[in-house]
């Protein structure tokens, strides 16, 4: 088991997902950006690092029928599958490190809230971007949320990289066009403020 995998598996084995700092009761900005893509309800959406997130619950209730969740921690995936009950049978579940993920098909929307900013190693970032390129359809949408430049420098005891638009565009390269940016102050379960920025890109055809 890799160090990264063991870290996140330990987090979800020892803490309730309702108490971790990144918990959101309602993923309102993510939903807004997904709605803004104007894709159809049968469009394929993958939530990267979404193991215990409730985003998939909201999308399922809205009528989205082609959903997937990827997470490195099996305990996080198991938590959400149990929460969803029978609805989980209609969702694809991928237990994988995103930097080595091999997708069985391409997606219309790639959603990542707070995974990319953990990739402090340049090679890991390059691998993530290559996986994303292969996993997203031409003219597909990429939504990435990360700590803002004035946000925290650590999360869950790990270093992160803060991003603004210019910094993220430089990382992703010319194959992706930035079309939307939204700032959010996330309030943690312990009432701490965390500035996030959400970016929506389109993969050029």
Architecture label for domain 3-14+28-188: 3-Layer(aba) Sandwich (3.40)
pLDDT score of 39: 96
Q: What CA–CA distance (Å, rounded) separates 196 from 121?
A: 21
pLDDT tens for the 205 residues of the chain, in order: 577 877 666 766 776 766 676 668 899 999 999 999 999 999 999 999 998 899 999 999 999 999 999 999 999 999 999 999 999 999 999 999 999 999 999 999 999 999 999 999 999 999 999 999 999 999 999 999 999 999 889 887 889 999 999 999 999 999 999 999 999 998 887 888 899 999 999 999 8
Among candidates 162, 161, 130, 145, which has minimal Cα distance to 201?
145
pLDDT score of 11: 61
Q: Which two tokens stand for residue 57?
A: 């619950």
pLDDT score of 167: 97
- Is residue 201 within 8 A of residue 172, CB to CB? The reply is yes
pLDDT score of 95: 95
> Taking the model in full, what pTM does it have?
0.93
Enumerate the domain spans of the chain. Answer: 3-14+28-188
């Amino acid at each position: 088991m890799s160090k990264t995998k063991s870290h996140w598996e330990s987090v979800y084995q020892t803490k309730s997902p309702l108490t971790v700092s990144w918990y959101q009761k309602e993923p309102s900005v993510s939903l807004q950006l997904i709605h803004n893509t104007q894709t159809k309800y049968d469009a394929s959406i993958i939530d990267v690092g979404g193991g215990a997130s409730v985003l998939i619950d909201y999308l399922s209730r809205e009528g989205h029928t082609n959903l997937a969740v990827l997470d490195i921690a099996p305990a996080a995936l198991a938590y959400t599958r149990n929460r969803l009950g029978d609805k989980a049978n209609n969702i694809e579940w991928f237990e994988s490190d995103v930097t080595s993920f091999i997708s069985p098909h391409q997606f219309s929307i790639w959603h990542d809230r707070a995974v990319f900013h953990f990739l402090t190693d340049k090679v890991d970032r390059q691998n993530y971007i290559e996986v994303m390129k292969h996993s997203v359809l031409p003219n597909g949408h990429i939504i990435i949320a990360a700590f803002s430049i004035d946000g925290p420098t650590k999360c869950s005891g790990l270093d992160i990289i803060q991003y603004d638009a210019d910094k993220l565009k430089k990382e992703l390269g010319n194959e992706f066009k930035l079309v939307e940016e939204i700032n959010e102050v996330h309030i943690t379960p312990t009432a701490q403020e965390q500035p996030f920025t959400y970016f929506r890109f389109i993969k050029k055809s």
